[in-house]
Structure 1
Amino acid sequence: MLPSFLAAVLVIALSPAPAAGAGCAAPTVPGAERQQAACLSDLTTAGTVASGHTDPADWAGLTPAGARNPSGVPGVQIDGYFPDTSTGNTTRGWNHDAQFVLRLPDRWNGGLVVAGSPGVREQYANDFAISDWVLAQGYAFAATDKGNVGATFYRDGLRPGDAIVEWNQRVTQLTRAARAAVKQRYGHQPRRTYAAGLSNGGYLVRWQLENHPELFDGGVDWEGTLWHPAKPSLLTFLPPALRAYPRQAEAEILAAGFAPGSEFLWDYHYRVYWDLTQRIYREELDPGYDGPAEAGTPFCASGTPACDADYDYATRPAGVRAAIARIALTGRIQRPLITLHGTLDTLLPITEDSDVYAAMVRDRHRDRMFRYYRIEGGNHVDGLYDAYPDRLRPILPCFRTAFTALTGWTEHRAVPAPSHTVARPESGDLANACSLSG
């Protein structure tokens, strides 16, 4: 929720858009094979859940139950898709991937926020965590399903890594198209364009700022996934955890990089995340490991032939590293980036992910445009805060504080606090408040 004085400033600053016209006139999204527009009295989830212009299942579990979101943002929503051959996204009965959503508020502040979906979710996955909040500030918002969805996303493409390569291409494609549509709607291109996302969406932020600085002014990376052929990844730390957990070999799980103090989260992650994540991403990047089988055997016991619990990245053929090199990050960011990562992340352990990426950024001498905040008690999905409010803290409010810090940095040269670990408060409304000050 915006403080009242900021809301008053925004009411003055936001410029009215040209009238949408009869029948909900909307801009044409360049390159879209199909688009469908609607003039809505509220583009936030408070309105779109009722009107059918979002899907709550798409963001389930990502945010804490106590989070408060703004509402009452009228404007135009455009749903559509770009040409694609895969058909996993069944939204609106289209059975067509490369779907996107573009939201254009009637009162626009001159900015655009672009996001890719976390995990293998669809285009509405960021609606509660990101879209509602930036729309209330006057930003246009665009999000993509990344071109393939669901637990069989690896079926898309011909070569190992093709599906993830497409993720990056779809964010670039949508950003260019959204910028052009914004110009049609408001009369000029965005004065500022930001990338934002969590998990796989955070990876996409990193990749875009490394590879397409011409499109973005900065980004916020919320626990992005790390890919590099010579660095830790899902394929290096998940197999040891899968081997060790059934034997309750705690020391082995800690040695794989999982944080001391995260033990209470292991059972849930073993059942929900570790096994499935290892198998489907291994299938995408190393399909030859289990021969003609598809994504291995769920929860196989160590010693079972081609069991993902026994996967050893270090001994796999060079072609696997070549596949990861196609999607690799370098740390060579070319626009300001703020990274957030929870110290109790039990899917992407912080020491194996963002700590490593921060070192990559330093090695590339990009520190001046990078801030890294380690969120004490933060976990990979904020929904778990509801089960463990005494041990975890949501990252959602820290993301919003970070986004505000980013815009102050890029637009007003207000340098954010130095990178540091953000202590977990002993009390307070952790679902809605977060200070990143040192």
Structure 2
Amino acid sequence: MNVQIFDGKNENWLTTKNPAQLAAAMVDGNIGLAPVSWGNEQEKTGWYHMYQPQEITGIQIRDRVEDGNIVLRIPDNWNGKLVAAGIPATRGETSTDLLFSDYVLAKGYAFVASDKGTPGKDKEGDPFAKAKNALSIEGASLAKWNRQFRATVCYAQEYLLTHYKTVQVASEIPTYGMGISNGGYVIRYAIENDGKNGEPRLFNGAVEWEGVLWRAEDPNLITSLTKVIQSAKAALYDGNSEAVHSLYEAGLPKGTEFLWPYHDQYYWFLTLNIYRDHFDFQAPKRLQWPEYLALNEQGIRDRSHDYIFEKYSYAKRPQKVKDKVKEIENTGELTAPLISVTAAYDALIFPSVHAYPYEQLVKKAGKAKLHRHYVIENGNHIDGLVWNENVDPNRKLQPMLPYVYQAFELLIKWVEDTVNPPESHFVHAPTEPYKITNLKTKQHMNPLTTQG
């Protein structure tokens, strides 16, 4: 265990107002998770209005739990509650610092995050180094992600109860989850399975942002991206109308065509290989994972391996492949309130495959009263693409993070004050460039900030 004290001297703050904390948050390109191109720095609009990390003192614990790396932050003005972050993809424990940590620390919450228990090791054996594909490590799995997340929350609660026990915090720590992408999946799974198999209940509620839906017998990340890879080249570069239609059939939302080249270059092939190989480790023509994102001399993704998916069919693979997915699949059996925030223009985790079916899964489980689902017009999977001059030169996209902050505010009111949030609905984009739409009133407003 490594305990650090952040006393505010010489910019030694607990938040990313501290240059050292900011540097840790930006490792491995995590800055791209935030809408940093949205807004004007001089005018303090957009991201520059939102991002106002506070001068907060407190302590930070770095430790290992279940063979994974965790970070626990406790502000000196702790409010007795905890927020646990679900980390996207196979990123590290500091990857949501700009998204969640600064925001909740300013409100007095303790914050904990882990790398989902799938860390890599560099040549020197540094346990805090990260592999580009953490699922390639022996023993790594999505099942381990779920165990690691629960173990991380248990660790944080135990630490807080042991070291901060007061009259107000006598026996339990109110705990909320916030997760993005595959971290959103982890949040869903945690809320679905909390308190089962004789384990104690840990969570009071959660917000998940563009979560991945894993189902064994239904369309999933593998089935949808296989169809995409089979048609992407013909659709994007050969002008084949049938191939374009196939991309829509795979789940790509209409209107996202301007996002396709970027996702074709960086996400579709890489993501498909990572998860297909994990669940179907005997799949034919498998690659070594560093080849997932091989680039040619011009810096363009090497398409010479696309052929391996020409005849691949998840449906025709052995039953043991589906059984492996079934072990970690979502059920919709919510045990606490959950708010889902979906990007209507998500060109990676397609809403028709991951978001709307999950809403129906919750209803089928009889848990609709515990769920709200807000679909954000012109939102996409990666906030870093909003107003990015190379991807979004026409400034069509709007960021998702401001709506996640709103959802968290609604969640707290829902759980603690029994104020029901608005019913699930499609959220129309505002007409003013630096505004967002209020989820409750549907009026336009400035985004919330990290001031608390």
Q: Same fold (TM over 0.5)?
A: yes
Query: What fraction of aligned residue pairs are identical, expressed as a percent?
Result: 33
Structure 1 residue aligned with 2:298: none
Structure 1 residue aligned with 2:107: 137
Aligned partners of 2:252, 2:286: CA distance in 1, in Å? 32
Aligned partners of 2:15, 2:368: CA distance in 1, in Å? 35
Aligned partners of 1:113, 1:247: CA distance in 2, in Å? 45
Which residue, out of 132, 138, 152, partners 1:151?
132
TM-superposed CA distance for 1:47, in Å, is 1.1
C-alpha distance after superposition, 1:43-94 (max 9, x if no partner):
111115368654444522111114222311111011121252xxxxxxxxxx
**How many residue pairs get matched?**
385
Aligned partners of 1:122, 1:40: CA distance in 2, in Å? 25
> 5+ residue gaps in structure 1?
1-33, 85-97
Question: What are the residue-to-residue correspondences of 1:349-428 with 2, within 5 Å?
Answer: 349-387=350-388, 388=392, 390-428=395-433
Structure 1 residue aligned with 2:31: 60
Aligned partners of 2:430, 2:356: CA distance in 1, in Å? 22
C-alpha distance after superposition, 1:293-317 (max 9, x if no partner):
434766545884xx13542111111
Q: 1:294 to 1:51 in 2, by over 3 A?
A: closer
Structure 1 residue aligned with 2:222: 235
C-alpha distance after superposition, 1:117-164 (max 9, x if no partner):
101110001100000000000000000000114433223345xxx511
User: Does the alignment pair 1:181 with 2:159?
Assistant: yes
Aligned partners of 2:175, 2:285: CA distance in 1, in Å? 44
Q: 1:310 to 1:391 in 2, by over 3 A?
A: farther
Question: What are the residue-to-residue correspondences of 1:66-105 with 2, within 5 Å?
Answer: 66=39, 67=47, 68-69=50-51, 70-82=53-65, 84=67, 98-105=68-75
Question: Does structure 2 conserve the Cα–Cα contact (< 8 Å) formed by 1:59 and 1:125?
Answer: yes
Q: 1:53 to 1:291 in 2, by over 3 A?
A: closer
The answer to which of 182-191 and 245-254 deviates more is 182-191
C-alpha distance after superposition, 1:387-429 (max 9, x if no partner):
2263111000000000000000000001000000000111142
C-alpha distance after superposition, 1:99-123 (max 9, x if no partner):
0100000001121000121011100
Q: 1:74 to 1:53 in 2, by over 3 A?
A: farther
User: Does the alignment pair 1:254 with 2:248?
Assistant: yes
The answer to which of 398-407 and 187-196 deviates more is 187-196
Question: Does structure 2 conserve the Cα–Cα contact (< 8 Å) formed by 1:210 and 1:334?
Answer: yes
> 5+ residue gaps in structure 2?
40-46, 120-130, 196-200, 236-242, 294-301, 443-452
Q: 1:117 to 1:51 in 2, by over 3 A?
A: closer
Look up the equivalent residue of 1:239 and give its one-letter code.
T
Aligned partners of 2:253, 2:286: CA distance in 1, in Å? 36
Q: 1:270 to 1:317 in 2, by over 3 A?
A: same
Secondary structure of 1:142 counterpart: strand
Structure 1 residue aligned with 2:97: 127
Structure 1 residue aligned with 2:175: 193
The answer to which of 421-430 and 365-374 deviates more is 421-430
Question: Does structure 1 conserve the Cα–Cα contact (< 8 Å) formed by 2:88 and 2:182?
Answer: yes
Q: 1:308 to 1:297 in 2, by over 3 A?
A: farther
Which residue, out of 241, 257, 265, partners 2:259?
265
Q: 1:210 to 1:337 in 2, by over 3 A?
A: same
Structure 2 residue aligned with 1:19: none
C-alpha distance after superposition, 1:301-360 (max 9, x if no partner):
5884xx135421111110110110111110111100000010100001101111010000
Secondary structure of 2:213 counterpart: coil
Structure 1 residue aligned with 2:2: 35
Aligned partners of 2:6, 2:306: CA distance in 1, in Å? 57
Q: 1:49 to 1:435 in 2, by over 3 A?
A: farther
Secondary structure of 1:184 counterpart: helix
Q: Which has the higher contact order (CA 8 A, sep 6+)?
A: 2
Structure 2 residue aligned with 1:167: 145
Q: 1:51 to 1:264 in 2, by over 3 A?
A: closer
Question: Does structure 2 conserve the Cα–Cα contact (< 8 Å) formed by 1:195 and 1:218?
Answer: yes
Q: TM-score, normalised by structure 2?
A: 0.81
Q: TM-score, normalised by structure 1?
A: 0.83
Look up the equivalent residue of 1:222 and give its one-letter code.
W
C-alpha distance after superposition, 1:176-234 (max 9, x if no partner):
11011112332135542001110011111100001115000000000111101012211
Question: Does structure 2 conserve the Cα–Cα contact (< 8 Å) formed by 1:151 and 1:280?
Answer: no
Q: 1:271 to 1:362 in 2, by over 3 A?
A: same
Aligned partners of 1:151, 1:105: CA distance in 2, in Å? 32
Aligned partners of 2:261, 2:313: CA distance in 1, in Å? 23
Aligned partners of 1:416, 1:191: CA distance in 2, in Å? 23
Aligned partners of 1:267, 1:309: CA distance in 2, in Å? 20
Aligned partners of 1:287, 1:278: CA distance in 2, in Å? 13
Question: Does structure 1 conserve the Cα–Cα contact (< 8 Å) formed by 2:83 and 2:110?
Answer: yes
Aligned partners of 1:364, 1:229: CA distance in 2, in Å? 17
Look up the equivalent residue of 2:191 and give its one-letter code.
L
* Displacement over 6 Å in runs of 4+: none
Structure 2 residue aligned with 1:4: none
